Chain A
Amino acid sequence: MDNYPVLIVVAPLITALLAGLFVWIEERLSYPIVLAGLAVSVFSAINVLIQVLASGSIQYKMGGWPPPIGIEYRIDLLNAMVLCLVSGVAFLNLIASCRSVKQEISDRAGSYYTIYNLFVTGLLGVTATGDLFNLYVLIEITSLTSYAQVAMGDRDRGPLASLNYIFIGVIGASFYLLGVGYLYIQTGSLNMADVAAIIKDAPASSTVLTAFILCILGIWIKMALFPMHVWLPNAYSYSPVVFSRVVAPLMTKVMVYVMIRLMITVFGYDYVFKTLHLADAVVWLATIAVLAGGIMALAQKNLKKMLAYIIVCEIGYMVGGAWLGNRLGMTGAILHILNDALMTFALFLGVGNIIYKIRNVDLTDLKGLFGKMPWTMGGFVLAALSIIGVPPTCGFFSKWYLLLGALEKGAYHFAAALIISSLICAVLFFKVFEICFFEPALHGLENPHSHGAIEEAPVSMLIISGLVSLSLIAAGFYSGTIVNRIIIPFLG
């Protein structure tokens, strides 16, 4: 069917509005409606991926208007992969979170699902679109809905965390908008492919340079690259579980996708790496981001905050990999989008299960968890191993490419930062494991050595977290396939 590309984005949109309507009529129907919307989205995304693998990029013109006048959705291999990822993660998260939502946001569950689907719409749209201003609009949809969801979390700290997030988010999006404005001044077009063609022919001008810097800066703020990451730990920690589970894996990675899209498709490899001389400085910045994220994670006493800082570290990997300027580095960065999303999702699924049972995840609350929640912790261990970079989990393979790319470029500082951060993550996670393994549990276990009451999370949550953790190993084994079929053809 030709309409799959737009169906991916429109299905969650319509079901979001329908669910909003149904809040007044029959609230219990909101959840199934929203779930159905995401299911359609996943189905369409997979179909689009198959289509793109078979016959090359798809161009979908909105309303039949041809570009550059009309807005188009342009799906190539990179998009298709990210679309599948986003819709899949959002869908699985919704299934796993049914009970968390009831637990944390019981009074407004119906409206929450509306906002959730709008958020996913925004993300999917950002990924699919081929128009620069449309990108801004969808980024803003994503951001607004995420501000709302953060505020729905912790009753005391959520609103203020959300407000701080709004301030920084607005600055980021506005910088991007300003950058698009400059591009429009120079090229007169808002379509990505069109702009790319015009810039390539035009001599390097300060307008384009300003546009590039502003766009990239805005996106960096949105993806929480150090030092513009300050909104992330608070926003992710104080938001409800269901939201942190979907935003942590997806939002920053989609922003990385946008950065790569801008770098490769709009401005072009030649402009970014040959005309500008920023690449080395950015790799240094990424190195610092990696190390800073790791070190700040070490200082945390709350599991969710610790994981948030690890995300900052991972973003450093991707930015550094993309800016290394060689194929291996870019391959590593793109592969890491997929891998990091899966790893972070698996981690947060585990954390969500723990919160469902124990309500709080300060590190001291985690005692004896291996005995009480063995399956959850099993999934968590796999995800942690992936972040440390132990084969055969997928995290190892993206690190492989990133390290190779760094060595080829001669960016030994970045390679060293990768290794050091692996060690720091190992220390971090084993600190958590020690607490879970050695300390006797606090809640109701008399003898730490007995097979005490296993109080696991409900089966629906366990199945999803187990599935995702196992997919980490599968993604690891299939990295070769993914790289060969999707990434290398994309890089051309």
Chain B
Amino acid sequence: MNDLLPLIVAKYNYWMYVILMMIGLYAMIAKNNLVKKVVGMNIFQTAIILFYVSIGYKTDASIPIIKSSDTAHGMVVRAADYINPLTSCLMLTAIVVSVATFGFAMALIVRIYRRYQTLEEDELRMRLSE
């Protein structure tokens, strides 16, 4: 137990993402209202995005933008000074995907609401089985 606690404390951000993911999953599965489910989906995807961004982090590093002044005077750029940009770029794509899915899901919800006047899943299920 003694060496578990520092382990948890050191990687506290990753534990947060896990908790966020679980919240998202819980919402998607257990909530009845469609909008809440979609929000849960968004939280779930956000957790993964944050996870990726955390991967790229290095201690005492700054954002990965190289100014021309840094390379002046023949100074070498050291990779350890900048966080890994790759993961953040990957997540740009993932954010786009997440937004697109979210928007599409919302459009579907509007459609469903117009048709059935309710967004509660159990009511919808009852209506559909008629």
Contact = CB atoms under 8 A, between A and B. Distances in A.
Do any CB atoms of chain A lie under 8 A from CB atoms of chain B in the complex?
yes
Interface of A: 133, 136-137, 140, 144, 147-148, 151, 155-157, 159-160, 162-163, 166-167, 170-171, 174, 177-178, 181, 184-185
A170 B45 contact: yes
Contact of A156 (B44, B101, B115): B115
Nearest to B25: A171
A120 B12 CA distance: 42
Contact of A178 (B48, B101, B104, B115): B48
A166 to B, nearest CB: 5
A346 B60 CA distance: 60
Contacts of B22: none
Contacts of A160: 112, 124, 128
B16 interface: no
B51 interface: yes
B87 interface: yes
Contact of B104 (A133, A144, A157, A171): A144
Contacts of A174: 44-45, 48
A166 B105 contact: yes
Contact of A170 (B44, B52, B109): B44
A181 B21 CA distance: 15
Contact of B101 (A137, A157, A159, A166): A166
Contact of B41 (A136, A140, A166, A184): A166
Contacts of A177: 48, 52, 94
12 contacts: A133-B93, A137-B97, A148-B104, A151-B108, A157-B128, A159-B111, A160-B124, A163-B108, A163-B112, A166-B101, A181-B51, A185-B55
A179 B79 CA distance: 26
Nearest to A162: B108
Contacts of B111: 151, 159
Given A148-B104, A156-B115, A170 B48 contact: no
B28 interface: yes
Contacts of A147: 101, 104
For the residues of A in contact with B, the DSSP-based class is helix
B90 interface: yes
B126 to A, nearest CB: 12
Given A157-B128, A184-B87, A171 B48 contact: no
Nearest to A140: B97
B128 to A, nearest CB: 6
A157 B127 CA distance: 10
B34 interface: yes
B124 A167 contact: no
Q: Name B's interface SS.
A: helix
Contacts of B90: 133
B44 A171 contact: yes
Given A137-B93, A137-B97, A167 B112 contact: no
A236 B54 CA distance: 38
Contacts of B51: 178, 181
Contacts of B97: 137, 140, 144
Interface in B2-53: 25, 28, 34, 37, 41, 44-45, 48, 51-52
Nearest to A170: B41
Contacts of A151: 108, 111
Nearest to A141: B97
A140 B90 CA distance: 13
B100 interface: yes
A148 B100 CA distance: 11
A178 B115 CA distance: 36
A148 B124 CA distance: 20
Contacts of B112: 159-160, 163
Contacts of A155: 115
Interface in B80-112: 87, 90, 93-94, 97, 100-101, 104-105, 108-109, 111-112
A49 B29 CA distance: 44
A336 to B, nearest CB: 31
A356 to B, nearest CB: 25
Contacts of B109: 163
A162 B25 CA distance: 18
Nearest to B29: A167
Contact of B48 (A133, A144, A159, A181): A181
Nearest to A175: B48
A170 B87 contact: no
Given A166-B101, A181-B87, A185-B55, 19 more contacts: A140-B97, A140-B101, A144-B97, A144-B104, A151-B108, A151-B111, A156-B115, A160-B128, A162-B108, A163-B108, A163-B109, A166-B41, A170-B41, A171-B44, A174-B48, A177-B48, A178-B51, A181-B48, A181-B51
Contacts of B100: 144
A218 B48 CA distance: 14
B37 A159 contact: no
Nearest to B98: A170
Contacts of B105: 163, 166
Contacts of A137: 93, 97
Nearest to B45: A174
A363 to B, nearest CB: 19
Contact of B55 (A157, A166, A184): A184
Contact of A144 (B25, B41, B101, B128): B101
Most buried by A among B45, B108, B115: B108
Contacts of A157: 128
